[in-house]
Each structure stands twice: as structure tokens, then as C-alpha cells.
Structure 1
Amino acid sequence: MTENTSPVRQAATPGPLPEGVAARPAASDDVPAILELLRAEELAGTGETSLSAGEIAEWFDTPRARERNTALVLERDGVPIGVWRVFRNFDDRYWAQLAIDRSLPSELVDELWRSGLEWTEQVSLAVAAGLGVTAPRLDIWVNEHDALTRRHAEASGFQQMRAFIEMHIDLAGYVAPEPNPQVLVRQAEVAASDSPDLATMYAVITESFRDHYDFQLRSFDDWAEARRSDPLGDPSHWYLAEIDGEVVGGLIGHNSYLEADDAGYVANLGVLRQGRGRGVAKALLHTSLARYAADGRVAVKLHVDAESPTGATHLYESVGMHRRLVGFDFHKHLGVRP
């Protein structure tokens, strides 16, 4: 058994739990149970789920993942009934993820949600303090129709900050238009850690998102390591776009929805200012859609900021995508007196 070896194991100890409920550090042997709990949570909020066992197993697979994740499994009579997790995204930004078996009595579900959110705050504050940060931010994701998560997030002082739209296109019958003669799209060669294309993609995605909501600069080494350790990463679906020999855009594909929906996923799409308004984003999108169609995928998905400063929602609709689901980013600043 490989335990979650977070550096704040003591801080992960929860407060008093309801009678009959116990909590322990999550371990790799818990992956199937955690997956079942998180899938049920997604289904309750959206009616669909994209989670895979590989995503959960990654919590325990590398030193980087184990250092950034702190997770507890809740049990009742030896049966897993919930999971609480905190993920350190940056030294001052943390992400809370909770799932409780909703078939349990509602009073118990509510009590475990309240306790779980208190625990995520304690863990985030403890980790941040160890890194010299006194007022970290804790985030939680709330799906559009998930009244239970919204109720508990709001009761705990989280505030809704931004909406994100899941865009979707069915690939049956998709036919790519004629290529834009001004834009050359090529597959990025990013397998090697010292690949020039890897550094170029980092620069393009970083620079193109500087004026977007909640931008946080990540070092190249951290960015590259996160992608190398991602079990669902797919370097064969990375593309760079050039105009007159200059790289002006990039697209990163991902396998987030492969197992659940047999769908491709566009994780990042960025175009530098000098490339905007010249058909670069459309050229990248159509290249990606055509490749996913050739691979036999049935659909392609992506998520977009509903208030994107570049009008990205309209761009995606222009290539045939439609709005499917909406989720909300909630924030709470910890250690700050009101």
C-alpha cells in the first residue's frame, strides 16, 4: 500500500466525526473506491462523468503528486462513503474536492460536507504556512445543477467568481474546410524535455493567457513537469501555428474525455496578439478536429471562460461547437479577517 505522503499529515487530521464514521489517509489501494465516489458526485451535478482511474491513481504515482495532494477517505462500518482532498496548485492557491455518498441520510451528508470544508481550510492554511504564505486562497468547483455543493460552498463563505462553459461538437459528418493558406499548422515535437517546441508552446500559452481571468505565471520547469506527469496527457495532439515562419499560436490536446466519452479534448488554445484576427485559432481548431475525427473519436470538448476577453465562445460556435454544461469557480480567501 502506498500512502498519500503529504508533508502535512498531522494537519490532515480532521475534527470530531459523526458516530460510526472514521477517516484515514487515502492510499493507492483506494483508487477504485475514490473513483466510484467522485464519479457519483459528477453524475449528481451534471448527469455525466469523465473521470478515469488513471486520474485518481496519479495522486499517488509521483513525488510531485504526493507532495501536492492531501486526501482522506471516510469510512462507515469499513465501507468508503466519502473522500476529502486538497490540491496545492500554487503556493498561495489551493483546490478543494469533496464527495460524500448521497444515498446516506441527508443529515449525515450535510454534516460530512461541513466538516470536510473545515478540514480543507485547515489543510490549506497549514501547507501555505509551511511555504511562508499567510493568506492562501481556496477554490471549489460547482456545477450548474449541483444545489448541494453550491449550498455548502456559500454557507462556508465561498463566493462565485466566474462561469465556464463546456463546448461540444459531434464529429459524425465533420468535414474540415480548406486550409487557410496564410497559416501553417504543424504537430509540435515535445517528447524530449529539451525540445525547442516544448519551450515554444510554454511561451505561446503563457503569453496568450496573460490578459485572461485568474492568470498565474508558472515557471517553465513546473509547467513542463506537470505535463510530463499527467497520465492523460497526449503530446501527439499538440499543434503550433505559424505565419511567415513565426509561431503565433498553439493548441494542447488531452485525453480527459477519452475513456468516458470517446471524445477528444482541447485543454489549451492560445494565440499571440500578432496572430489574432488572422484565422489562427480556427486553423488550429480545425486541424485538431480533423485529427480527432481521423482517430475515430466521436466528439470533441473544451471549456471556455464565459467572459473571455477574446470572445472565444463565439469562435468555438463558429466551427460548429455548441454549449453543453456550465460550471462555476468559487473562491475563499483564508486567514483574512472580514
Structure 2
Amino acid sequence: MSYRLRPASLDDAPAITALLNEVDRIEIGRPETDLHTVETDLKHPEADLERDSWLAFEGDLLVAYGLLWDDSGHERVDVDHYVLPDHQRAGELILDLMEARAVEKARENGAGRAVVHLHLNVRPTLDTALLEKRGWATVRRYHVLRRPVAPAADLAPTPPAGVRIRACADEADRVRLHGLYQATFAEHFDFQPRTYDQWLHDIGAEHVDWSLAWIAATEDLGDVGFLLARGDREAMGWIRSLGVLTDARGRGLGGLLLRHAFAAFAARGRDTVGLGVDTANSTGAPQLYGRNGMTVHYAVDTWEAVLD
């Protein structure tokens, strides 16, 4: 079986979205990829589509897709890889090109090796034996959690005395939220520092409804926590990130922000809210989400390859 390979362009976003949704159907039982998410990925400022993206076709059918980007400016390189189950050879061809480009990119950054990460469903369409024989190994597991919400059951919580939650009403609040994100996630696995402008791209700011972003403040410490959600996913309301500064943990602020988001989504008519969490998170986030009724939707592994 022969395949035609070429770089992706923004015009390919609908076809890529269709491919990713077919992968979703196979892996998790329903499509959950939105067109604007794919478009945001293709516009990534650290990805040169001519050199960092790959499409594989059988005839006119798109059967595999890969994208590479570099947020670290050094050895850490990220890749996405999607392939239909009956086209493993196409997936392998893209892996060959990805690995070579990752090494080239790391060397351009002055690094002596490339440490490449790829996120895959625990039961992916890609044959993971292809990764294992190349020396890839799993280094982390994430859970995608979800919870049903309803207006009658999920009412906005009343903050305790001395605590205030405010929406990100203006640019100053958005800058502050970015600062809180950088501070609260700095010690998390695979965190890469991002400037404000880089972060705006990462979150697809042109699609963000800032009324679904909140900052928590206390009288004694000021701004100490945040929750950034998105209402533009068709499958469910989505909590992109939630963080509380170390000095303010243990006061119930994370749960307060979480329940605030549940209520906001329920009031808007959404019936499900989801998020992703590192199962090895040391801040107690998995336990927090479990206490607030969130259960596992599916699991994702981070695969790593060290290439030189």
C-alpha cells in the first residue's frame, strides 16, 4: 500500500478534524474534536507547517496526521500523531519524519538531544508496538474526567467570609490570571513557561469567553487562585485549568472555584463538564475532583522518546 505525504495547511483543518473525530469514535466512542481546536493547533507560533506537519493520504482519504511544536526553546519537543487503525504503515512513515525533525529542532535550539512527548489514549489507534521498538516508553498518565450538571442541583456556591470570586472583566485581570497560572503550574510535570502573548495563543484567546474565567482572592493574601473554562466545545463544558497558590491551599478554594464553574455551565444549559488531570499530581487535584463528583471518562498516556 502506498501513501502520499505532504505538509498540512490551514485549509486542511476540516479534513484533519474529520480524521481526529474518527479516531475519537474508535477510542472513546464519540467525536469530541472541534474545528477551531484544530485550527488553533495549526496556527501554533512554534510550529512551521512546511517543516513541522505531515499528512498521509491513501488516494483522497486522509489516514494519518502529525504535528510538531517546540515550547521549550531547548530539548523538549511535543508532537501529535493520529492514524486510522488499518494504516499503520502511514503512521510509521510520519513517525520517521517526526523523529528526524525533532532532533533537527533540538539541535537548532543548541541542545544535544531531543526529549519528545506524545499523548495517546491508553487504547490508541496507533499500534504502540511501533513506538516501543523505537525506544519510546510511557512516563505519565492523565485522566479525562467528567461530571453531569443541572441547574437545580448545581447552584452557585456562597464564598466564605473573606473570600471573593470575580470574573476576568478586563485585560488587567487576564494578565493577573496568566501570572497565577504560571505560578501555580510551575512545578507540574511537563510545564513550560509561557509569556502572556504565547499563553493567549495556547488557550485560543479568540474563542475564549472571558465570563468563564474567574479569580479567587482572600482578604489576607489577595489574588490566590483561578479557574479558566471554555464553553466552545460541543461535547461538554470544559475546565482548561484550575490553580491555587501554595500559601492559600487547604482553605477549600479549589473546590469553591470548581463548584462555581459547575453552576455557571449548568445555568447555560450544559449537561456535562469535563477536565484533564495528571494522575500523579502532587497537589491533591485528583482527590479534589473525585470529592466533587467527577469520574473517569478515558485515560491518556504520555509517551517519551530521547533522541540524539
Task: Provide TM-score, normalisation by structure 2.
Answer: 0.89
Partner of 1:312: 285
Partner of 1:151: 129
Residue 175 of structure 2 is aligned to residue 199 of structure 1: yes
Contact 2:164 / 2:218 at 8 angstroms: preserved in 1? yes
Residue 298 of structure 2 is aligned to residue 325 of structure 1: yes
Matched residue SS, 2:138:
strand
Partner of 2:48: 67
Q: Displacement of 1:90 after TM fit? A: 2.5
Contact 1:58 / 1:65 at 8 angstroms: preserved in 2? no
Residue 177 of structure 2 is aligned to residue 208 of structure 1: no
Contact 2:181 / 2:243 at 8 angstroms: preserved in 1? yes
Contact 2:28 / 2:298 at 8 angstroms: preserved in 1? yes
Q: Which runs of 5+ in 2 are unaligned?
A: none
- Equivalent residue in structure 2 for 1:185, among 165, 168, 184: 165
Q: Displacement of 1:275 after TM fit? A: 1.2
Q: Displacement of 1:66 after TM fit? A: 5.3
Q: Which runs of 5+ in 1 are unaligned?
A: 1-17
Partner of 1:6: none
Distance 1:203 1:28, change over 3 A: closer
Distance 1:317 1:254, change over 3 A: same
Partner of 1:303: 276
Matched residue SS, 2:269:
coil
Matched residue SS, 1:189:
coil
Partner of 1:35: 17
- The total of aligned residue pairs comes to 303
Matched residue SS, 1:137:
strand
Q: Displacement of 1:136 after TM fit? A: 2.1
Distance 1:96 1:210, change over 3 A: closer
Partner of 1:9: none
Residue 217 of structure 2 is aligned to residue 234 of structure 1: no
Partner of 1:3: none
Q: Distance in 2 between matches of 1:139 and 1:209?
A: 18
1:142-173 deviations in whole A, cap 9, x for unaligned? 21222744332222211111111111110134
1:301-331 deviations in whole A, cap 9, x for unaligned? 0111111111111111222222221111111
Partner of 1:283: 256
- Equivalent residue in structure 1 for 2:109, among 106, 117, 131: 131
Contact 1:265 / 1:300 at 8 angstroms: preserved in 2? yes
CA RMSD of aligned residues (A): 2.3
Task: Provide TM-score, normalisation by structure 1.
Answer: 0.82
Contact 1:59 / 1:65 at 8 angstroms: preserved in 2? no
Contact 1:117 / 1:156 at 8 angstroms: preserved in 2? no
What amino acid is the match of 2:301? F
Residue 77 of structure 2 is aligned to residue 94 of structure 1: yes
Contact 1:158 / 1:330 at 8 angstroms: preserved in 2? yes
Q: Displacement of 1:46 after TM fit? A: 2.1
What amino acid is the match of 1:290? A
What amino acid is the match of 1:188? C
Q: Distance in 1 between matches of 2:274 and 2:213?
A: 15
What amino acid is the match of 2:185? F
Partner of 2:229: 253
Q: Displacement of 1:178 after TM fit? A: 4.3
Q: Distance in 1 between matches of 2:209 and 2:127?
A: 31
Q: Displacement of 1:221 after TM fit? A: 3.8
